[in-house]
Chain A
Amino acid sequence: MANFKIKKGFDVKVIGKPKTTVEEYTSQQLFAVYPSEFEGLKPRLKVKAGDTVKRGDVLFENKKNEKMVFRSPCCGSIKAVNLGARRFPVEILIERAAEEKSITFETYTRDSVGQLSREQVVDHLLNSGLWPLIKQRPFNKIADPDADPKAVFINAANSAPFQADFSVVLKGDEEAFQVGINALAKLTAGKVHLCKSVGSDIPDFGNAESHTFAGKHPSGNTSVHINRISPILPGDTVYTITAQDVVLIGKLLTTGELPRTKIIALAGPAVKEEFRQYYKVQIGASLEELLNKSLEGDEVRVINGNVLWGEKVSADTCVPFYGSEFFALEEDRSRHLMGWTMPGLFQYSSHRVNLSSVMGLGHEWKLGTNMHGSHRAMVVTGWMDKYQPLNIMTDFLIRAALAHDTDEMIQLGILETDPEDFALASFVDPHKTDVCGIIKRGLNEIEEEGI
């Protein structure tokens, strides 16, 4: 148990905070699974269009580890398998059948999970298709089942606008969460760390050490938690998982069937006010209907994630495997007359060159996706480190990454990071450098080359 105060950080003040009410949104007919969500995965399809599948049937498996399977979230027929570049299956669409047949797994209780060995837990999770919920650092990829992680980090914190608040998600599922923690505790010889935001009313749980994190964004980022509790050295592995996914694992273990629902937050300035809240949705189910009625604006960008970190998705997306929140904002293609000299009162900024940074940080802004400038050669300003609590020299790390210098990148601490940790660096950079992209490329190079 420890309390951490994160001093460096910045909160992007954007309107659209979700209310903490949860509305049921189930009974959808179209479902989808996105193999492209699993970065680096080479899937081998087990189904084709027209097949009928039971709830829990294997849709595809990992070519590199055939024990790692991915199962169908619903019972019905495969409507289409849409291929992307190089014939990669981007999405598998499933039409739900009226009558449900499903595959069941063994059930456990909070105590009987404790009797299992590590292998049994790993095999059960791999076989049920929920193993990929567990990721590992460095590289933030699907956890290697054979790794020996020094700790497991559960992220129950939130700091970016607007990450789902786990205290809303958890209500009523405390037992499943505890069972999930007990299963995770089997995976490591070290500790399970439960990291919460300060002030959230999440109780403490057995088998896990609770920590609270106070401070502005990125105090809720997993990298910050790891850095403060048990920093990654070259050669170390830690498992990470978000708190809601622990609940899903717990539900699998207690009910013996694949979890049906999860809770997502829908937020952002382009969501109508009455729809800014939490929804209990079926995993894999289409969100088209919900998004259709809740979005407003001419050209809206929907993000699977929050305003700082997440992928653009289409407005007919289905509930993905990862993630607990959606953010919608307007595409802002407006151009401002002589932006280089205007007082800058009406453009959001963290920087004192714009008056809005002094006079406008009190209220929330209706932000759009404008770049507010064009790309220029990178000049070291030191601002990238201004909101970086990870003790990383961002400018030098970027230089090393641009120079493909893997040794230098590792020395400067890239293994402790994930591209999401550089979202604020990208945000403040006046030269509009793609910091996250450069870091991501650097991490990929190290992964290929080996540490």
Chain B
Amino acid sequence: MAASYSLKIITPQGIVYEGMVIHAFLPTENGFAGVLAHHAPYLVSSKGGKLVVKESVGLEKNFQIGPGFFEVNHDQAVFLTQACQAKS
């Protein structure tokens, strides 16, 4: 069982996603970043694009997100963006 951490995707319209994830793959300002549990405090801006969230092995969720910020601290991660849409 891989370690997981909590992730929230928050937009002005409300909380779009909230749950425990193993891995999040996000588009950052300069390229991409994958974040696993126990990540060091990290604050990065994102240019928007495809965000892939891995909840468990073989279960992934895709989101189309707008420009925003990703912050992780003590296994609490928050993605702040103006727009977010879940994709299958």
* Chains A and B are bound partners: no
